[in-house]
Amino acid sequence: MSFDAAVHAKAIRLDTLALQMTGAAGSGHPTTATSLGHITTVLMYHAMRWVPEEPALNTADRLVLSEGHAVPIVYAAFIDLGAMVGNPGEYRPADMSDIDGFRATDSPLDGHPNPREGFAFFDAATGSLGQGLSVAAGLGAAARGDGIDQRIFCIVGDGESREGQVWEAVDSIVEMDLRNVLPIFNCNGYGQAGAVSSQQSPDRIAAKLQAAGMTVLTIDGHNPTAIRDAVEQFTNGADGPIAIVANTVKGWGIPSMQGGGWHGKPATGEKLEAACQELAATGVALTTSLAGSELAIYPPTTAQRTVIQASDYPSFREAMAAIDQTTVLQVGRLATRKAFGIALRIMGKCDNSIWAVDADVRNSTFLDGFADDPATKDRFVDCKIGEQNMISVAAGISAAGKNVFTASFGKFLTRGYDQIEMAMNSGANMKIVGSHCGISLAADGPSQMALPDVAWFRSLGSTRDHNGNPGCYVLQPADAWAAYGLTTAMGDYEGMCYMRVFRPEVEFLYDENTVFDLGGMEVLTEGRDLLIVSAGYMLHECNKSLDALDKMGIDASLLDLYSLPFDEDRLLDLANANGGNVLVVEDNYGGGLFSAVAEACCKAGDAFTIEPMHVTRIPKSSLNEASVLEQCGMHHEAITARAASMLGIAAHVH
Amino acid sequence: MSFDAAVHAKAIRLDTLALQMTGAAGSGHPTTATSLGHITTVLMYHAMRWVPEEPALNTADRLVLSEGHAVPIVYAAFIDLGAMVGNPGEYRPADMSDIDGFRATDSPLDGHPNPREGFAFFDAATGSLGQGLSVAAGLGAAARGDGIDQRIFCIVGDGESREGQVWEAVDSIVEMDLRNVLPIFNCNGYGQAGAVSSQQSPDRIAAKLQAAGMTVLTIDGHNPTAIRDAVEQFTNGADGPIAIVANTVKGWGIPSMQGGGWHGKPATGEKLEAACQELAATGVALTTSLAGSELAIYPPTTAQRTVIQASDYPSFREAMAAIDQTTVLQVGRLATRKAFGIALRIMGKCDNSIWAVDADVRNSTFLDGFADDPATKDRFVDCKIGEQNMISVAAGISAAGKNVFTASFGKFLTRGYDQIEMAMNSGANMKIVGSHCGISLAADGPSQMALPDVAWFRSLGSTRDHNGNPGCYVLQPADAWAAYGLTTAMGDYEGMCYMRVFRPEVEFLYDENTVFDLGGMEVLTEGRDLLIVSAGYMLHECNKSLDALDKMGIDASLLDLYSLPFDEDRLLDLANANGGNVLVVEDNYGGGLFSAVAEACCKAGDAFTIEPMHVTRIPKSSLNEASVLEQCGMHHEAITARAASMLGIAAHVH
């Protein structure tokens, strides 16, 4: 049998399985799936070097299905091949019983690609569109860094390619000259609500790819030889990045399910039977025999990724000595973002699993030490001003087994929140650092200040990841010692963290005697009348109010609640030891520390009086930190007044 | 004096003022500003039809400064012209004293464009990059809708054009054939951390614009005649969208401040004097006389925008009669997203200030009624699959004085969170509707479920907008009556709201006797042992547990806390009336209702026992609502068991 006939036969087999599983579930996207029957067949049964018995093998070629709703076509291949599903360690071969399981609670065949729910073949959870090509770029960069012969195939929808992130990814692939990543645009002409815009026609997509510097191969996505030949131009090695634009038919092979109105609609009952018959008839018209196969799957050419060297990270003092900055320790003043940059550079030198991903602000986040050091610079990726892509590239690097840090202004990270959530769903080992957070940024104004960030990341932290840990730790170091300590703690942890650093230089509050842990907290001052809870920059402002409170006869405690979540019992003990009076001070909008403290106390059923001081106006720019604190009513005199007022003592209200 | 000489003279004057104000503040971006001296001069002193005495005039041509950090050059023009600053009603002319005020707390010259802090010339707060062209597209669409002769000029940075949103906006401008919007790409060659990527070279940007279907004019951005001629090709009316790619010099006129390393660095003291002298010398070399001006500013050609017709919105019953669906009222079952769609369509028919903006999911959010109705379809914009652009286009439409609704899956709205916050900062009158929220989506899995959304929007709601209202109301209707009522309540409100609707069809809980207000809540069942607080889909599940609790002898109350924020005193009264026992049930990650209830109770200082039930695992797909509720431990039997357990009563734990 010819290659064409073999691919047609297999594609029709996969298309049929996709129809059946979506029909069984009563939901899903069979017409998108069948638009990819031939491309999936050529990739998974011919071009990709992988091992169906070891779908998670990290030297195998990878497939990122950016248009995640097409996933039944990949599940169909797994069922056809008897490839392994289930979480690593609990593998079993997929079989026809999985048809009926699709989308069910106990099935590894999730509604959309979901590597941590039993389908380790995928590196990234997809389904929220436009993210896959960035993940593929991250996988490609990591493979090149490891020096392995691995190819990353990425299927992107035409409607999906309206997402700007796709073009950020294209720019990064061209800029990094990643020749091991092949984007395949599936142009089936229909989005959810109707025809794809003329701005996403195959011609426009091809023209845009060419304008960005890619070589474009436009093919018939249902012609087996054409698909194979185009993929071979990529696998044979070209002199620059290549993309395929494939003209396909949504609902290929099933005339009654083509055109608009068939997005996300399965055929069931008699319609399903009729659709399967249409597919079979399409097959008969294409080839005399649909039985047998000339297709063969080959394993990867590389046995192992480069060995990861890791050792214990040096102490802050050792790190400062290593970069000739011990005088800073004597001065006792350093910005938390600088301490983060120093930590990452030093950690990267002794642990080559650490990568760093930036978006044109490395001189603000102080990733520049890592970017410029000869020992680490090959593990630094600058995604330029495209934060969505930055996060998903980092997710891809993590999926390659790396310990990835990514940093930008906390405000600009908001651009990547959807990508961050998808990375959490993917089980990414990703440490996110937001700089210039809170109001202490002052002069640049609210367009650069992260303010609802604590609430959002804390919400992720309220759920459990697939390892049973908080979905995300929120860390707020108050000084350089804390920032260094928490950066190394993040390096030792596998999972997701968000560390919030700020712009100003601040005095040291700690020294080498304090150990900083995820989930930890630190009592800075022990009193008995009132517990002041704060973190980050505001801890310094609270510290300033302690003397004034003391003069009023108020013996306040000051707690550095630098981690969310935290040990709630310990907080309750401290609150009780301070008469149940708690004042929570934070330079962000609500939903952060105050919420966390209130929740902990309410669960206990004791009577506490807990009052918040957080940012309750949209800030505007002020020339310096003192001015912006006054503007927002958070100057230390205001903290003093509020504390006194809680205890019924009149004070000068600033 | 020639036009060229006049523009050079004025540009050098503005450049000098920009140098001075950034020098006075000790921060800001003078070199970006001087790269735009000539373009700003040609626009603000020649091409734009506007009135310096009435900067907010909504028929005047508009300038959207997408690269907001360049703002000193616009402030300089205001100071030069004595144009009005301050909030409307409190205008005063800008003058040389504003040089020293730049970025100060009490100055209208904020660090970045900030229309609600005294600079009404701008429509949108910018500074978080990549959003301005979408805002311009929204302004352009609204101007065309109103039939007025208004032009929107938008300046975009070259480094900034890495942001994918810029290309989403370009696609929308071409797709809508908006000939009243002129994007000007300022290619000064430097980003923050170094040279702009070759992917954002003037040639690449021009090629990408052409590939997207725009006519591109590449010019020397410091050649007055070239700028004027290019702008005139736009103002004379072309046969399609035009863009200008301007080659400029960062630090133009000041050789000592050019090249890398000068981003965001002001010159102060002697360096400032030297820089001003360099600028003056540049001017002398260009033109013999820098005095006088041949430039003239003309007012808009249109006196007024079309009159807005508005009337009271009909009731849900009247609306259902109008669209022949009264039988649904008898059946008593309808999805909240459908009721939203019906409401918006009917509201749009009697209020032509209402616009709707979608991103290819109108058949899921039920915006399709609005999109298809001949009375409203001209006020419907489909941004296709590009949610960042969708939000900023909506912000632009709002800035044109419209009452704009925008809807997508709640999950996909995450893509636009930064844009939503910037819209809040801009004072947008924007109603955001997230559909398919929470776990009740079931079969599609976590890539389509909004889960940390309540926490994020609640955080915005914890601050005050410029009118003194919550930055954002979070609304969770539980049935169609509530969804209809809250949609009309949003229509009557000026500010920002997020309404969270869900996929399943649900029984009615209400009828026409209930009025739904922003800030409101509704007691569904009045008991005395336990207050169950919920909202949206979960209210139905809680409702199911009441009978079982009653059989155990537990007389529970059920509160529909459909609005955040809410009347905290009323909640406290209800909690106290139920023995201080509160169970909060919500189908999202933490940081939502439970946090809000805990905060309210903790401030009161009374003893409450408040327990949460929210989503504490990353959900996977399940075939139906009951299965996903079981998977997440939130089935009504689990609610019953938890409620019983709180009161010390053993129950069958599901």
Q: Average pLDDT in the B116-145 region?
A: 97
Helix (H) or strand (E) holding B141: helix B132-146
Neighbours of A304 (CB within 10 A): 10
Can you give the pLDDT at residue A557? 98
A369 contacts chain B (CB < 8 A): no
CB contact under 8 A, A462 and B601: no
Can you give the pLDDT at residue A654? 41
Q: Chain A 525-584, CB below 8 Å of chain B: which residues?
A: none
Sort A408 into a burial class: Cβ within 10 Å, 0-12 / 13-18 / 19+.
buried
What number does CATH give the domain A316-507?
3.40.50.970
Q: What is the pLDDT of residues A85-120, one digit of tens each?
A: 999 899 999 999 999 999 999 999 999 999 999 999
Can you give the pLDDT at residue B641? 97
Can you give the pLDDT at residue B653? 45
- Please determine, for residue A570, whether its predicted confidence score (pLDDT) is greater than 70: yes
CB contact under 8 A, A213 and B199: yes
Q: What is the pLDDT of residues B224-251, one digit of tens each?
A: 999 999 999 999 988 999 999 999 999 9
* B71: nearest CA partner in chain A: A444
Helix (H) or strand (E) holding B371: helix B368-372
A473 contacts chain B (CB < 8 A): no
Phi, psi of B105 (to 5 degrees): -55, -45
* Inter-chain contacts counted by CB atoms under 8 A, chains A and B: 416
A33 contacts chain B (CB < 8 A): no
CATH class of residue range A522-646 = alpha beta
Can you give the pLDDT at residue A281? 94
- Please determine, for residue A488, whether its predicted confidence score (pLDDT) is greater than 70: yes
- Please determine, for residue B293, whether its predicted confidence score (pLDDT) is greater than 80: no
Q: What is the pLDDT of residues A33-82, one digit of tens each?
A: 999 999 999 999 999 999 999 999 999 999 999 999 999 999 999 999 99
CB contact under 8 A, A208 and B204: no
Q: Average pLDDT in the A366-382 region?
A: 97
A217 bridge partner residues: A244
Neighbours of A373 (CB within 10 A): 16
A341, two tokens: 């940059």
B167 contacts chain A (CB < 8 A): yes
A548, two tokens: 């004034």
Confidence band for A653, pLDDT divided at 50, 70 and 90: very low
Q: In whole angstroms, what is the distance from residue B143 CA to residue B387 CA?
A: 22
Contacts of A167 in chain B (CB under 8 A): 164, 167
Can you give the pLDDT at residue A290? 54
Q: Chain A 107-136, CB below 8 Å of chain B: which residues?
A: 110-114, 116-117, 125-130
Can you give the pLDDT at residue A605? 79
Which one of A85, A175, A360 makes the best mutation probe of the B interface by having the most chain B beta carbons within 10 Å?
A: A360
Active-site positions of A? 387
Confidence band for B28, pLDDT divided at 50, 70 and 90: very high
Contact A439, A346 (CB under 8 A): no
With a pLDDT cut of 70, the percent of chain B lying above it is 98
Contacts of B599 in chain A (CB under 8 A): 590, 594-595, 598, 612
C-alpha distance across the termini of chain A, in Å: 86
Q: Average pLDDT in the B30-54 region?
A: 97
What pTM, to 2 d.p., does this model score? Answer: 0.98
Can you give the pLDDT at residue A235? 95
Which one of A597, A602, A630, A631 makes the best mutation probe of the B interface by having the most chain B beta carbons within 10 Å?
A: A602
- Please determine, for residue B654, whether its predicted confidence score (pLDDT) is greater than 50: no
Confidence band for B65, pLDDT divided at 50, 70 and 90: very high
Nearest CB among B174, B191, B452 relative to A199 is that of: B174
Contacts of B445 in chain A (CB under 8 A): 103, 110-112, 114, 127
Letter for the amino acid at B152? I
CB contact under 8 A, B620 and A160: no
* Helix, strand, coil % over all residues of chain A, rounded to 5: 45, 15, 40
Active-site positions of B? 387
Contact B622, A103 (CB under 8 A): yes
Question: CA of B226, closest CA in chain A: separation in Å?
Answer: 25
Whole-complex ipTM: 0.97
DSSP A35-97: HTHHHHHHIIIII-B--TT-TT-TTS-EEEESSGGGTHHHHHHHHHHT-EEBSTTS-EE--TH
Contact A504, A440 (CB under 8 A): yes
Which regions of B239-388 does DSSP assign to beta strands (E)? 242-247, 333-335, 354-358, 380-382
Contacts of B127 in chain A (CB under 8 A): 444-445, 447-448
Contacts of A627 in chain B (CB under 8 A): 104-105
Domains B3-284 and B522-646 share a fold: yes
B499-538 as b/e: b if 16+ CB within 10 A: bbbbbbebebbbeeeeebbbebbbebeebebbbbbbbbbb
Q: In whole angstroms, what is the distance from residue B176 CA to residue B328 CA?
A: 36
- Choose among B8, B39, B66, B5: nearest CA to B247: B39
Peptide bond into B565 cis (omega under 30): yes
- Please determine, for residue A456, whether its predicted confidence score (pLDDT) is greater than 80: yes
Confidence band for B173, pLDDT divided at 50, 70 and 90: very high
More confident residue, A301 or B383: B383
B360 contacts chain A (CB < 8 A): yes
Q: In whole angstroms, what is the distance from residue B102 CA to residue B80 CA?
A: 15
- Please determine, for residue A161, whether its predicted confidence score (pLDDT) is greater than 80: yes
Which one of A599, A603, A609 makes the best mutation probe of the B interface by having the most chain B beta carbons within 10 Å?
A: A599
With a pLDDT cut of 70, the percent of chain A lying above it is 98
Which one of A415, A435, A614, A631 makes the best mutation probe of the B interface by having the most chain B beta carbons within 10 Å?
A: A415
CB contact under 8 A, A621 and B114: yes
A361 contacts chain B (CB < 8 A): yes
* A461: nearest CA partner in chain B: B590
B190, two tokens: 């430097």
Confidence band for A311, pLDDT divided at 50, 70 and 90: confident
Peptide bond into A565 cis (omega under 30): yes
Contacts of A472 in chain B (CB under 8 A): none
| Pure H helices in A102-251 | 132-146, 164-175, 202-211, 224-235
CB contact under 8 A, A163 and B160: no
| Pure H helices in A503-612 | 537-551, 568-576, 593-604
CB contact under 8 A, A602 and B618: no
A452 contacts chain B (CB < 8 A): yes
CB contact under 8 A, B448 and A127: yes
- Choose among A417, A449, A456, A457: nearest CA to B422: A449
* A599: nearest CA partner in chain B: B598
CB contact under 8 A, B160 and A631: no
A584, two tokens: 């929570």
How much is the mean pLDDT over chain B? 95
CATH class of residue range B3-284 = alpha beta
Q: In whole angstroms, what is the distance from residue A167 CA to residue B130 CA?
A: 13
Contacts of A100 in chain B (CB under 8 A): none
Per domain, the residue ranges of chain B are: 3-284, 316-507, 522-646
With a pLDDT cut of 90, the percent of chain B lying above it is 92
Neighbours of B562 (CB within 10 A): 28
Contacts of B128 in chain A (CB under 8 A): 411-412, 414-415, 447-448
Can you give the pLDDT at residue B291? 57
CB contact under 8 A, B425 and A609: no
The distance of Cα B183 from the centroid of its chain, to the nearest Å, equals 20
B75-107 as b/e: b if 16+ CB within 10 A: bbbbbbeebbbbeeeebeebeeebbebbbbbeb
Confidence band for A484, pLDDT divided at 50, 70 and 90: very high
CB contact under 8 A, B164 and A159: no
Q: Average pLDDT in the A215-225 region?
A: 98
Contact B119, B113 (CB under 8 A): yes
Can you give the pLDDT at residue B650? 67
Q: Average pLDDT in the B529-542 region?
A: 98
Averaging pLDDT over each range in A647-651, B294-298, B437-441, which range is the top one? Answer: B437-441
